[in-house]
Structures are given as C-alpha cells and as structure tokens.
Structure 1
C-alpha cells in the first residue's frame, strides 16, 4: 500500500507511483536506473526525499552535487562510497589500489576512471548481498566530472544486482548529461494541484483570479509557489509576487532568497557567505573561519528567514539559496571569506582546498599561491583527476606574475585538458600559452598539442604537417619526444587515408628517417618507427626485418607505469595496421591485439579498449570464430556508448559485409561516408572499397564487386589497399576483365613477395590460380589451401575451397569439385557467413548434388554476451574474474550463466565445457 505523499508532493501522484514501482523492483532483486529531470525548484530533491523515506530495508547512499566542488577530483564519488568503505579491503587487488589512489588513501599510478568504476560496482554489489542498495544523487550536473563519468559507467553496467541509481538532474544546465538513461521528466504542476499548494501555505483566502495568475507566472513550479509567497498574506499577493514575470523561474526564486538575505544582520550574512564558499559543511572549519573574521556563529536568524536548515552539517534550504548568498556578496567580501577559510584549513590534511581558497582570495598575481595550486594539480593527477589538474593549473597560470612561468603552466593545463578529452578548454589554454614567452621545447610541445587536438576533433590530414613541424622542433632541441611525434605524424596520415602527397605517410616517413633525434623512452616505439618508415619509403627488404624485431619488443617490453602502458597502446594501433595490411603477418597481429586487450582491461583504459577489441575481432573473424568477433564488436560499441566515445565501425563493416547482409552493410557504409566527409577520416573511404568487394563477391554480383573493389585499389591508403586487390582480382576474373585482374595481381605481388608469411604467400597463390589454367591452376589452389590452413585463417581457407571447387566444376572435374564445395559450404555455414554459404550451395547444386543445411548449433541460441561469458567460464575463470574481464559485476555474470545453463540443458558450471563442445558439434 502506498504512503500518502507529503504536502510538498501535491500533484505528484503519478511520479510517486513510478518511484514506488522502482523500489518494488529493487526489493525484488533487480537493478534500476532513473534520471529525474527538470528545472530548478520543480521537485526533484523532494522526490529523492520521498524515495529515502519509503526505502525501508535498504542501504541508502546519498550524494549532493555542489557547484563549488566540481573541480575536486573524485570528491562526489568519495562521498557516495562513504557507507561502504568498511568493505574496501575485500576488493580485488587492482580495484583496491585504484580506489585507494583515487580517494587519496594511497599513492600510486593515476587510476583509470573505469577501473575505479569497476571497483565501485564491486563495492555496491557486495553491499547488496546483505540488503538492497539505493544510491541517490542530487544535482548531478554539479558533480565533479570524473565522478559523474564513473557513476554513469557504473549505472550502465548494472543488470542483476539489487542496486538502484536515481539521479536528479537540473535542466537546462544538465541537459547534455546522462543521455540514454531512463528518465522521469518533471513539469510544472497542473492548475488545480498548484492552486491547492498555494492555498495551503498562504494566510487568508486567495481570489481565484489571483491564484491562477500566480500559478501562470510561476508555471506551476512548486519551489517558486512556496518561496515567492512565503510569509505573505493573501491580500499582499493581490497583484502577484514582488518579482516581475520576466526572467526564469530559478532566477526569480534566487532573487527572492537574496531579498530575505538583505534583511539579516551583517554578522549572519557573513556566516552564510562562509558556508556558501565552503560547501563541505564542516562545522569546525566554519567556526574557525568565523573567528578569524570576528563573527559569532549564530545561524538562527538565517533559519528563521528560510535560507538554511538547522542541521549538521550546515545545509542551505536549496542550492539557489547558496548561490544567492554568494552572488549578493561583494568581491572584497568574498575574498576576505576565502582568505579566512584558507587560513582555517589544515595545510597538512587539506592542502588542495587551502590552495583553492587562497586562489579565490588573491586580488593580484601571487607566485606563492600559484605554486601551491601547481602542487595541488600534481596531486590531482596522481589520483587520476585530470580535469581537476587542468582547472588548478589554469588558475595557477592566471595568478602567475612571471610571463614565462605563466606560459609553462597554461601549456601544462592545456595538456591536462586534452588528456581529459576537453578539447575546447585545451584550445583556450593553448592560446594563452602562445601569448607568453615559451622555451623552444615548450613551443614544440604547444605545436604538438595543437596538432593532437585537431587530429582528435577531425582526423583530417591537416594534423600531419603540424605534427611533422613539432617533431622537427623537438629534434632541434635534442628531445626524445621527436621520435614519438614522428610516429604520431605517420599514424595521423594513416587515419587521414593518404600515403602520397606532401603531407602523406611517405613524407612523414622520409622526414623521420632523415632525423637525427635521440632515442625515445621506448625501444619498441623506436623500432616500430624505423620499420614503418623504411617500409613506406619503398625499402621493404630492410623494413620487414625491422618490423619483425619491433614485434619482439612490442610483445616483451616491460611496462612499469600507466603512462607507459598508454603509450604502448597508442603504438599498438599503428603496429597492427602495419602487420595486418602491409606485412600480412597474422601471428604478429594476433599477439599484439591480445596484449592490447589484456592491458586495456588491466588498467581499466576503456578509452583504448574499443579499438583493441576491434583489432582482436579481426583476428577472431579470420580464425573463423565469427560469433566471438561479433561479441567483441558489440562489446566495443557498448563501451563506447557508456563512455561517450564515437563507436569504431571498421570491424563491424568487415564482418557485416562477409555475412552478406547488403542492406545493413550499405547502411553502415553510408554512416561511415558521412563521418569521413564531416571529420576528414578519409581511411573510412578506403575500407569501403574493400567492403563492397567482399559483399558483392559473396553475393555473386561480380560487376558491383569489381566497381567496389576498384575504389579500394585506387584509394591512396596505407591500410585495406592490399586486401582490396585480392577482391579486385577475383571480381575482374569473373567479369572477364583479365587485364585488370593481371594488373591488380602484379600490384599485390609487390606487397606479398618479400613478407615471407604463409598468409601472404597463400593469398598470392590463390590469386595466381584465378588467372592460371590446367595443372598450374590446380597446383596453385592446393598450395594456397596448405599455406592458409597452416596459419589457421579459416575464412580464407573456406574461400579458397570455394574458388577451387568453382574452377574444378568449370573444368568438368565434378567429383573433385563436390569435395571442395562441400567443405566450403560446411565451413561457411558453421561460421554463419550466409552469402558465401549460398554461393557454395549454388555451385554444389550445379554439380548435381543437393547441399544439406546443418541445424543451427545450440550455442547459436546464446546471445553474444552469454556466449562470451560461457566461454570464459568454461576456460576456468571465476565469476569475479569474468566480471573484471568484461567490466560486469559477479552477480550479472551469474545471471547470464543461469540463462546459459537453461539454454544448454545443464545445471552446473562443471558440465559447461562438455555442453559447449557438444552443442557446437550438433
């Protein structure tokens, strides 16, 4: 039975019913997430109060976003986790370390926010084993950025835990936050309940027309109705509230709070200003600051005026009351209060808050304060608070008297903002730094940063010349950053999709090889740069061995810090592009992608994990494990959605094309085309040629395959050109365009002759077979099969069986053709590659044999995530280990496993490996 809503919830019966249902689902063992959205004063906080009052039998954690705390890294998350920190030592080691560093309880490498998120998820999940957990987050738009991002990540990963997250978000300030989460939107009260609320608080009888005018002027906003009429009689309201109808409801309410403030004694106003400037609400700190200002801490008059609530800690009635107090004070008053707070703050236990208050107290540049802020920024970085680092450094730069030091600090702030994915602020601080005298080394850092920002925003070829220029400046200063920057320049040209031209990959490679820069801090990076640059300049005979040596370094290099791992993950991207598309080295691609996924998971680097998953999906796909590849692609998309990053479409394009879904492939291609046009990522246009070649070769529409593959062949790109050549050879032969096929074979041979890998030699042999006759063709097909099978590249093995069978049928060797086509048909069906499977079936029917379709394996009934979890469980991982691997809670893992057991007809983990094997065999 529902409780009767409090008077403040007049007209909110529907919303209360939804929240009652939320609590019911939570108590039933489900996870629930909701964002209550609306303007200031609309009743969001009151609904959170309603939830807290109704949530008997649950553990409640409540956090209040405070605007003044927005730049203090992890402050809000620390507040939220307070009730659960007694269990922190039960966390797995990496999660424990990440959380302790984030909360300033230990020193160590800056933790990734998603590893911190996984730690919080584990903490909440364990707490929910005893009783349901209700997390209430008020004024989410004012949480510090890293806390909000982490909590959003946790909320999106909830599924089978007895945990509920309810965010209250003020619009329009928070309109762009928490997109996609279930929302409860609050509008103003309807005329009748709004009028009833008014009449319940106004002394005397309101005339209906006066009541209706007040409701209309406040747009039914409950806070406005209550506060603008507070302490007034009906007769005083005959002509509406004191404030005019202009301006937003929140500004009018804030003005009303300011009006009440002006009637208070000066010492009370000063006390309120101290509280407004120090949002932690520490009563002892307020007393110490008040003593320094000669103020007696008597809050009673402020409570009588309806500005605060008499409670511990000190609480304003509403955030608008806090902002009204701070806004009403003069600049000199605010500085005096911040100075008192800085002097009253313990320099040993709260050095960052002390520095922040000192900065607000400063009326002129002050090197001592700036240095304290710079030190605070260093501590923020150690906790993983990169946004906080940028903010503190920005303020430090503003207070720095020396122009050279100001430029250095502004540049450091810009770099911090760039690392935190806030390119707009990074650009602003870079402009400030550019106006100051910088050392040659810092000027190079600035130019490199500007190029990095440009590349991150557009991936256009405009970034490459800037990076090359920065690399030259680093080289002139003898900096080891030169070689890292040359590698960045080459990488930029790869994504920009150009090899030739004044700022293409070849130009960057030529400059890198001519450079006399000292070694970088990474041997793997240096070897990779030398190998890629040598390869690009045409000396494949020297470049290939260099890249083999780079592979050993990439696999074996010891990585001792998070920064080192992040640098390695950047290098891994260009390395995998090179190994897969230039060297045809399947082993190198496989081992580097496996390490990239593992490292990204270990440090919680979800910014790099989607890209690592994309490369790993390519390996799985070529191995023939299409379901696993699709699982990795979907996981990458899910992580991108949870983290706000744009999804990577390369692997999805390739898999969809091989599956032969024309409508889906063309839809993704169109999306990629728009992205390439808008952002300058021309390499997406290169992959589209390969994708069209695969799609239409699979569907047997060779004229379209020829035109599509031609786009990929003609595209001046680093990647996918070689793969496009193989599709073009096949399509050209089927269309009778033997001259085109021969030219593409010649170009392909230039790329494969000197690599020496089985993949390269196998693909080359198959393409040669397409243009050969008689015994030579037969021998080439058999050679291609042996080479590709030795590498375990199943999709290419199946493709070769198909082509060999088609050739045998056309040369009237029907019995031999049936053997090859049966194998191709079986393999394509097992891999769920429908178009190529249908092509094999048609060819087999042409030999006089009817192909039998296999029943779908029982594992096909598993969802992608169920299949992932089942495979990991069958390999021996525990639920917590699987959860850490996939960024899920152990409860969610167990929930998925129960569904797996039901679908496979088993009852325990012990029989899972055999059940999976048996299901695949059916």
Structure 2
C-alpha cells in the first residue's frame, strides 16, 4: 500500500474511532468533529473509519471552495443517494427539501425545516443498517448546508447514525461548537520518521531526516511534501543542509510545494489542472467537454496524474484539498477567466452557469448583472440567504450604471443581514452610499445599517439610528416609517432606558413616533402597537392600556409567526393578560413549526416558557427552556437566559441563579443590552423573597423600577411591596403600591387585580386584611396563575400565624406547601414548611421522587397524552419519529405503564417537581 494511504501511529485516534463503531453497531448515534491544522491527517482518519465500518452504509461529502456560494450544495451531496425516499416525508418537509435542492418551485423553505427533512431521510435510511456520514472540510461547505448539518447533529438521539466532520483549526465557524470533538495533532517523532522513510526511501542521511521532521512538526502531509523541496544531493546528505527558513505555516509551505510540482508540468497539463480546480464536482463529463473547448485532450491530464497531483476515474479528484486550493491560487486572472468561461458553456444549471460567467467577466455588463439577479431570486426561493447575498453582491459589482449598482448593493446588504452577516451588510451599504441612490433607497440603507447594529448588539446605538431612518421614510412611505418607529421603540426597550444616551430615552423615541402620520381608525396590529406603546411612554400606563388591549386582539386574529406577534406577547405580559400571552405564543410557535418560519422561534419558545413558569407549570417551562436553548445553539442566535434565570429564582436555586445571572450580565454588558440586566434584578428579587433575604430582595426590586422597563417594572413592583412589608418599610411599600395600583386598575384582569389585592393585604394595618387576602386568592385561582396563587396562600398563612390564628394558618400553609413543593418552588416551599412547624405541625422534609422524567421526556409524554402521533410530535420538536418512540419507551418504563392510553391516568404532574428541579 502506498505510504500516503497508511496510518502511522494514531493509536489513540483509532481507539476513539473503533469505539465509535462499537457504539454505532449497538444502535447508538454518534457525532464527532475532528479538528486540526491542514495536513494533520483528518481525511486519513475518515478513510480509516470508512474502511473498517463493515456492513454500514457510507455517505461521503467533501467541501469545495468554489461551491461555497451555492445554497445547499453540500447537503445535496449528503442526501443525493436517499432522494428516492423523498415522497415518504411529511409534505412540509418534502416540499422544503425539494425547493432547497431546486427540484420544485415554492416559497423559500426555512433552514430548520430543511434540516428536519434531512434528519428524517437519514433516520429512514438507518432502519435497515447503520449509516455513517463522513463530511470532510466543512469549512468549505456552503453556509446553508453547514447550518442544516449542525441541526441534524444536535438532534440525533435514537438512530444508528454517525456524523463525523473534519474542520480546519482554527476556524471561524461556530455551528459545531459544543459537539463532541477530537483535536488531531501531529505525529510523534518515531511515527514521523517511519512515515518519512517509507515515503522517501532514498533519504538516508539522518541529519536531513531530523531536519525535515523538525520542520514538519509531526504534520503528515508536510512530511510527505517537504522532501520535494530538497534536491537529490541534499537528500543524500553530502552537502550542507538547506538554509534555515523563517518559521511559517504548514499550509503555506505545503501549498508552495504543490505549486512547484504544478509548474514542473507542461503548459497543457497546467491548463487542465486549473480547469479541474475550478470545476467543483469532479464531473468528468463536464470537465472533458470544457477541456475540449480549450483545445485539450486526455493526453493533457497524463503528466498531472503521473505526478500524483490528480486522480482520474468516476470522479476527478486531487491528491489533497490543499493541492486544489494551491492550484486555484496559482492560476492568474487571465487563466481563471478562460477556464470559468469554458465551464460556463457546459453548465445545464442556470445558477452555476451564471456564477462561472460572472467569474469569467473582466468588465461590468448589465446583461450579466441581470442574470445574477435572477439567480439570487432563485436562491432566495430555495431559502439560501447566503447564496442570494453572494449573487447580489457580484451582480452589484458587475453593474455599470451607478444608481442601479447602488440599489443592488442595498439588496445584497439586506440578504447578507438575513444570512446573519451584519458586518458584510455594512460594507455593502458603505459601497451603496457612494452611488447615486434615490431618497427611498437611502432610507432603506439607513434602516438596514441600524438593523445590522441591532443584530450585533441590542445596545444603545440602534434606537437612534432606527429613529433617523423612520424620519427619512415618513415623507415617502408612511407604513414603512411606522414599522421602523416600532422597531426603534423595541430596540430602546431592549437597550434599557437608563442605558440610552442623552436625548434618546424611551420617552424621546416615543415622542418622535407619536407624531408619525397614521391612518385614523386603523386596526392593523403595527398601528395599534405603535400607538399604544407611544402612549405608554409619553402619557402613562393608564392612557395606553385600552389601545394595547386592541392591539392584542388584532394580533391574535391575524395569528402569524412574525416579530409583531412577539411584540404583542410582551404587551400581554405587561398587561397581566395571561390568556392572551399564552394564546399568542402558542399560535406563533405552532405556525412557525408548521411553516418552518423559525428564525425567531428560540425567543418565542423562551417567552412561552415564561408563561408556564408564572402559571406554575415548571415542568413544561423547563422542557420549553431546553428546547429554546437547543434551537438557539443551532440558529446561533443571541438569546440571553431570560426565563432560565427567573426559573432558577423561583426554584430557590441560589447556585444556578448566580451562574445564569453571571452569564446574562456578562453577555448583556458586552452587547449593551440593559433590558437583560433588569431581568436579572427581577430574578434576584424573586429569589431573595423566597429565601427570606428581604433586604437584598428590596434592593433588587428597586432597581427594576428605576426606568421605563416593560414587564419587569410591573412585576418588580409586586416583589418590592412584599420585601418592604416584611421589613416594615411602609413608606417605600406605599409608594410602590400606588404605582402598582395605577397599572393593575388600568389592566383590570383577574391576574392584575389579584396581584393588587395581595399587595394591599401585605401593607394593610387595618381590619380589611383578611378580606384582601381572600380576594387575592379568589382572583388568582380564577386566572389559574398557580405560582402566584401559591404565594398568596403562603403570605395569608404567615399573616394568620403571626396573629395567633394557628388553626386557620395551618389550612392556608398546608395549601401553600403542597402547591409550592409540587411545582418545585423549593425556597418558598421551605418558607411554608417552617411556618407550619411554627404552628406546631410536624412536616417531613420532601424526599426526591423516583419518577425522574427529563424535561424533554415530560414534554413528549404530555403531547402524546394529548393524542399527537410520533410523526406530529417529531415535527413539533424537530426530532425524528424514532427519537420520539425512544423517549416514550423511557417514559413508559419510568411510569411503569405500557401504552399511550395509560398516559391519560399517569401521574405526570407528580413528577413535575422532580423534573423542574433538574
């Protein structure tokens, strides 16, 4: 066997891969990312795995630089052999994948839905035998494919599927962070010498060997290629050793060695190599036709094949990916244009043809810019935002007329922003702003620049920029202007009022939006939300509440998955509208899952978890938090731990809350997102009220009420009242109660009025305390906000006990203790236990429940109990049906049941506290 095909050393790496195969044969899933510098042997390890995996189905994918701009090109390589199963997928997944691969026309599919379709294709293929996917050089795959593959990798649970990636280290890509990985480093000196002597038997002189081994630093490819840089005389060791070079990267040194071998070939062979380096698929039919157009026949490739640089067969391949990149880099601009032009004429795919033509262009051409624009539209229809941006960017470069070039640059910037590249978007906007943009285009550019700033950091810069853009739109496009004013308000809310620069407070932004032209009597959610929020920040909560309630209803009627729906859910929290909060987000999440519109799903899922937390459904909240975190990692969104830190606070988990708070503060401080800091203060107030640390709770609650903060200001007032009452800080409590009352009366919901009655009861020193507590309990029971109901029982019981009404106190404290311990609010539950013992009642400490469902198991069990099929649950949670089945088997075992029918009577609620405490 040729030394290039033999693994020298690598005992530890082979043991890892052998263990991987054992786990796969046992029916487990495996994910592994091999990281390392170029030439360290990552591809050789993939070859070893493929050769030793007897009986498994092997699928290989290789990233190619020239394919990086074509959306889903890499995923298409992965799925090509499985497309005969496409019709067996659920319709939304089948359609999404067909559109992504250009097999059908349709609306742009979301990348998550495409990823789910790929996951289910793999799952179906693994039904008969294990599947091993070897994905080499992921750093050269297109962005859409990388995201889809990362999505699949994070959702493998129950299928015998292995995904093994190689990635050059260091890499800018973040999609695979957190997945199991193995760092591939150089060979030790003994194995390096074995490889070197087997590759170059003529290398007899040990001094030369030592020098090459030292230069290569264990890099196998360097060991194989560096001898080519040394003359035959030097190899023999008769003359002095080569002069010491300055230290440089292996990649650069090895690529230069490949270039020297290239330049030693005849001119016709070099031309063929340039052609092969540009043609991404190694398709011999396309390659030979293009070669014929350049006047090359099969004899042109023979010297390159003899030199070991290229392999000819069913596919034309290079000896190493670095050889391809070295050859591509060695080609001059004239040579590259020639081969791109030849390849363009052989393409049946219009987008590849357009891309090659663009690479062959030496001067701007409107016809070609238009062709690229059409390719961008097709990429957008396939859901390839990064590919759309690349086509538009090149289209703008090839546009001869200034105004049209600027318009295309703005469109390219918008696509880059959608693809998650705000820095590139800003560069394009800078280019566009130097052209002859009209007023509307300049306004669009200004808005996009502000959105790019907001995408990078939800800090204090974006609100003012969005405000300027809204003003620019006002004379030309009023609906767009109003949308932009609403975006400015949202950006200011995220930034936090006290973190905004002078002259750009929430009130200032709201005052500007207040004078935006409006359509009288409009029932559009954007108009109602904008009018309501501007009223809240300029005229007060009471003035805004009626319009905001109308906005909630209008948004619920429309029922779609947009940013407007998420904005309305914030308004529902602000108004203590629990039902609207839940309905809006359930509608959003359902629509997003069904349609694949998932870019904001992590935040929506986190907000929905927040509802279940306040309602006392900690088990559901924990499951949704886990799902949001999973989606967040896949989408690489910047979602701070809003609900997780609040859940930790309600649980009384001091260590967990401290850790999450530290993460939230560091993350928010880096971005300037003051809103997240206020959430951390609210959580601290809840935590310390539960623990009985009322002084700390008071200080934290006061921080939440020092600015125009949505939601946390209203909720923080209730925490402030409790802490002040327990510390007998009556004046502080009364001031907080007055503002709380203004808000609760304007809201008028049972949750709001129950919160007010509880606050009044805590601060009252008169004869009406008993009635106030009972009113609070009745209203909170009616709106089913059980976490707050439990605390009302606790506060009432504590008051009764302090007033020596022990019998009545025990009744309330027993209710509080049961509710609080069942939902997992352990600190408040401990307060209830201590108070019960103070009445003379013995209360045993709670013992852990043996029915320990994970959050995802609990969520799947509840969905199955509601009658959803494995396919429906898998679609909802973005996992395969086999994974759903695997989780349900675990649930059945833990609950000692054997069927879905028994789930209806299973004690799922009884395990809520155990699950929530995880």
> What is the TM-score when the length of structure 2 is the normalising length?
0.95
Deviation of the 1:335 alpha carbon: 1.1
Alignment-derived partner of residue 472 in structure 1: 471
Deviation of the 1:228 alpha carbon: 3.5
User: Is the CA contact (8 Å cut-off) linking 1:497 and 1:718 kept in structure 2?
Assistant: no
Alignment-derived partner of residue 842 in structure 2: 850
Alignment-derived partner of residue 884 in structure 2: 893
What is the DSSP-based 3-state SS (H/G/I as helix, E as strand, rest coil) of the residue aligned with 2:748?
A: coil
What is the DSSP-based 3-state SS (H/G/I as helix, E as strand, rest coil) of the residue aligned with 2:906?
A: helix
What is the DSSP-based 3-state SS (H/G/I as helix, E as strand, rest coil) of the residue aligned with 1:368?
A: helix
1:289 matched to 2:251? The reply is no
Which of these residues, 177, 190, 193, is aligned with residue 192 of structure 1? 190
Structure 1 window deviating more from structure 2 (840-849 vs 667-676): it is 667-676
| 1:823-862 superposed Cα distances (whole Å, 9 cap, x missing partner) | 1111111111111111112222222222345555554x11
| 1:195-253 superposed Cα distances (whole Å, 9 cap, x missing partner) | 12222232436122222222112222222222333699975513668995653222222
| 1:871-905 superposed Cα distances (whole Å, 9 cap, x missing partner) | 11222222222121111122222222222222112
Deviation of the 1:908 alpha carbon: 2.8
Alignment partners' CA distance in 2, 1:744 and 1:555? 32
Alignment-derived partner of residue 325 in structure 1: 327
Structure 1 window deviating more from structure 2 (844-853 vs 879-888): it is 844-853
Task: Evaluate the alpha carbon distance shift between residue 658 and residue 112 of structure 1 in structure 2; reply closer, same or farther with a 3 A threshold.
Answer: same
User: Is the CA contact (8 Å cut-off) linking 2:537 and 2:708 kept in structure 1?
Assistant: no
| 1:252-289 superposed Cα distances (whole Å, 9 cap, x missing partner) | 22222222222222222212211111212222222332
Task: Evaluate the alpha carbon distance shift between residue 691 and residue 173 of structure 1 in structure 2; reply closer, same or farther with a 3 A threshold.
Answer: closer
1:904 matched to 2:907? The reply is no
What is the DSSP-based 3-state SS (H/G/I as helix, E as strand, rest coil) of the residue aligned with 1:344?
A: coil
User: Is the CA contact (8 Å cut-off) linking 1:494 and 1:719 kept in structure 2?
Assistant: no
Deviation of the 1:107 alpha carbon: 1.4
User: Is the CA contact (8 Å cut-off) linking 2:794 and 2:812 kept in structure 1?
Assistant: yes
| 1:579-615 superposed Cα distances (whole Å, 9 cap, x missing partner) | 112x111111111121122223223344322211121
Alignment-derived partner of residue 310 in structure 2: 308
What is the DSSP-based 3-state SS (H/G/I as helix, E as strand, rest coil) of the residue aligned with 2:905?
A: helix
User: Is the CA contact (8 Å cut-off) linking 1:822 and 1:851 kept in structure 2?
Assistant: no
Alignment-derived partner of residue 905 in structure 2: 914
1:651 matched to 2:647? The reply is no
Structure 1 window deviating more from structure 2 (867-876 vs 225-234): it is 225-234
Alignment-derived partner of residue 8 in structure 2: 10
User: Is the CA contact (8 Å cut-off) linking 1:228 and 1:241 kept in structure 2?
Assistant: no
Structure 1 unpaired stretches of 5+ = 560-564
Deviation of the 1:810 alpha carbon: 2.3
Which of these residues, 337, 343, 346, is aligned with residue 344 of structure 1? 346
User: Is the CA contact (8 Å cut-off) linking 2:620 and 2:859 kept in structure 1?
Assistant: yes
Task: Evaluate the alpha carbon distance shift between residue 689 and residue 36 of structure 1 in structure 2; reply closer, same or farther with a 3 A threshold.
Answer: closer
User: Is the CA contact (8 Å cut-off) linking 1:480 and 1:521 kept in structure 2?
Assistant: no
Alignment partners' CA distance in 1, 2:214 and 2:881? 51
Matches for 1:166-185 after TM superposition, within 5 Å: 166-173=164-171, 178-185=176-183
Task: Evaluate the alpha carbon distance shift between residue 541 and residue 241 of structure 1 in structure 2; reply closer, same or farther with a 3 A threshold.
Answer: same
Task: Evaluate the alpha carbon distance shift between residue 193 and residue 921 of structure 1 in structure 2; reply closer, same or farther with a 3 A threshold.
Answer: closer
Structure 1 window deviating more from structure 2 (40-49 vs 494-503): it is 494-503
User: Is the CA contact (8 Å cut-off) linking 2:20 and 2:30 kept in structure 1?
Assistant: yes
Alignment-derived partner of residue 916 in structure 2: none
What is the DSSP-based 3-state SS (H/G/I as helix, E as strand, rest coil) of the residue aligned with 1:714?
A: coil
Alignment-derived partner of residue 154 in structure 2: 156
1:588 matched to 2:580? The reply is yes
Task: Evaluate the alpha carbon distance shift between residue 231 and residue 878 of structure 1 in structure 2; reply closer, same or farther with a 3 A threshold.
Answer: same
Matches for 1:576-615 after TM superposition, within 5 Å: 576-581=569-574, 583-615=575-607
| 1:131-190 superposed Cα distances (whole Å, 9 cap, x missing partner) | 110000111110111101110121121121100011111223467562222222222222
1:823 matched to 2:815? The reply is yes
Alignment-derived partner of residue 276 in structure 1: 277
Task: Evaluate the alpha carbon distance shift between residue 777 and residue 315 of structure 1 in structure 2; reply closer, same or farther with a 3 A threshold.
Answer: same
Deviation of the 1:352 alpha carbon: 0.9
Alignment-derived partner of residue 806 in structure 2: 814
Between Structure 1 and Structure 2, how many residues are aligned? Answer: 907
Task: Evaluate the alpha carbon distance shift between residue 412 and residue 261 of structure 1 in structure 2; reply closer, same or farther with a 3 A threshold.
Answer: same
Deviation of the 1:312 alpha carbon: 2.0
Alignment partners' CA distance in 2, 1:716 and 1:177? 36
Task: Evaluate the alpha carbon distance shift between residue 377 and residue 655 of structure 1 in structure 2; reply closer, same or farther with a 3 A threshold.
Answer: same
Task: Evaluate the alpha carbon distance shift between residue 246 and residue 720 of structure 1 in structure 2; reply closer, same or farther with a 3 A threshold.
Answer: closer
| 1:644-685 superposed Cα distances (whole Å, 9 cap, x missing partner) | 333431111211111112232233223322233221111123
Alignment-derived partner of residue 133 in structure 2: 135
Deviation of the 1:530 alpha carbon: 2.3
Alignment-derived partner of residue 616 in structure 2: 624
Structure 1 window deviating more from structure 2 (514-523 vs 475-484): it is 514-523
Alignment-derived partner of residue 429 in structure 1: 428
Alignment partners' CA distance in 2, 1:792 and 1:342? 65
1:705 matched to 2:704? The reply is no
> What is the TM-score when the length of structure 1 is the normalising length?
0.94
1:503 matched to 2:504? The reply is yes
User: Is the CA contact (8 Å cut-off) linking 1:214 and 1:241 kept in structure 2?
Assistant: no
Alignment-derived partner of residue 727 in structure 1: 719
What is the RMSD of the two structures over their aligned residues, measured on CA atoms? 2.5
Deviation of the 1:540 alpha carbon: 5.0
What is the DSSP-based 3-state SS (H/G/I as helix, E as strand, rest coil) of the residue aligned with 1:476?
A: coil
Task: Evaluate the alpha carbon distance shift between residue 534 and residue 218 of structure 1 in structure 2; reply closer, same or farther with a 3 A threshold.
Answer: same
Deviation of the 1:6 alpha carbon: 8.2
Alignment-derived partner of residue 832 in structure 2: 840
Alignment partners' CA distance in 2, 1:630 and 1:921? 10
Alignment partners' CA distance in 2, 1:242 and 1:259? 19
What is the DSSP-based 3-state SS (H/G/I as helix, E as strand, rest coil) of the residue aligned with 2:61?
A: strand
User: Is the CA contact (8 Å cut-off) linking 1:759 and 1:787 kept in structure 2?
Assistant: yes
Task: Evaluate the alpha carbon distance shift between residue 332 and residue 130 of structure 1 in structure 2; reply closer, same or farther with a 3 A threshold.
Answer: same
User: Is the CA contact (8 Å cut-off) linking 1:202 and 1:232 kept in structure 2?
Assistant: no
User: Is the CA contact (8 Å cut-off) linking 1:366 and 1:400 kept in structure 2?
Assistant: yes
Matches for 1:487-566 after TM superposition, within 5 Å: 487-498=486-497, 502-516=503-517, 523-538=524-539, 543-557=544-558, 559=560, 565=561
Deviation of the 1:535 alpha carbon: 3.1
Alignment-derived partner of residue 654 in structure 2: 662
Alignment-derived partner of residue 372 in structure 2: 373
Task: Evaluate the alpha carbon distance shift between residue 16 and residue 674 of structure 1 in structure 2; reply closer, same or farther with a 3 A threshold.
Answer: closer
What is the DSSP-based 3-state SS (H/G/I as helix, E as strand, rest coil) of the residue aligned with 2:497?
A: coil
Alignment-derived partner of residue 575 in structure 1: 568
Alignment partners' CA distance in 1, 2:36 and 2:651? 45
Alignment-derived partner of residue 43 in structure 2: 45
Deviation of the 1:758 alpha carbon: 0.8
What is the DSSP-based 3-state SS (H/G/I as helix, E as strand, rest coil) of the residue aligned with 1:33?
A: strand
Structure 1 window deviating more from structure 2 (844-853 vs 748-757): it is 844-853
What is the DSSP-based 3-state SS (H/G/I as helix, E as strand, rest coil) of the residue aligned with 2:746?
A: coil
What is the DSSP-based 3-state SS (H/G/I as helix, E as strand, rest coil) of the residue aligned with 1:849?
A: coil
What is the DSSP-based 3-state SS (H/G/I as helix, E as strand, rest coil) of the residue aligned with 1:280?
A: coil
What is the DSSP-based 3-state SS (H/G/I as helix, E as strand, rest coil) of the residue aligned with 1:894?
A: helix
1:877 matched to 2:868? The reply is yes
Alignment-derived partner of residue 76 in structure 2: 78
Deviation of the 1:121 alpha carbon: 0.6
Alignment partners' CA distance in 1, 2:241 and 2:311? 27
Alignment-derived partner of residue 28 in structure 2: 30
What is the DSSP-based 3-state SS (H/G/I as helix, E as strand, rest coil) of the residue aligned with 1:748?
A: helix
Alignment partners' CA distance in 2, 1:156 and 1:648? 20
Alignment partners' CA distance in 2, 1:101 and 1:520? 41
| 1:451-491 superposed Cα distances (whole Å, 9 cap, x missing partner) | 11112222122211111111111111034211111111111
Alignment partners' CA distance in 2, 1:871 and 1:117? 25
Which of these residues, 123, 126, 138, is aligned with residue 125 of structure 1? 123
What is the DSSP-based 3-state SS (H/G/I as helix, E as strand, rest coil) of the residue aligned with 2:6?
A: helix
What is the DSSP-based 3-state SS (H/G/I as helix, E as strand, rest coil) of the residue aligned with 2:79?
A: helix
Task: Evaluate the alpha carbon distance shift between residue 800 and residue 5 of structure 1 in structure 2; reply closer, same or farther with a 3 A threshold.
Answer: farther
Structure 1 window deviating more from structure 2 (793-802 vs 323-332): it is 323-332
Deviation of the 1:44 alpha carbon: 1.4
User: Is the CA contact (8 Å cut-off) linking 1:62 and 1:135 kept in structure 2?
Assistant: yes
Alignment-derived partner of residue 481 in structure 1: 480
Which of these residues, 100, 108, 114, is aligned with residue 98 of structure 2? 100
What is the DSSP-based 3-state SS (H/G/I as helix, E as strand, rest coil) of the residue aligned with 1:63?
A: strand
Alignment-derived partner of residue 562 in structure 1: none
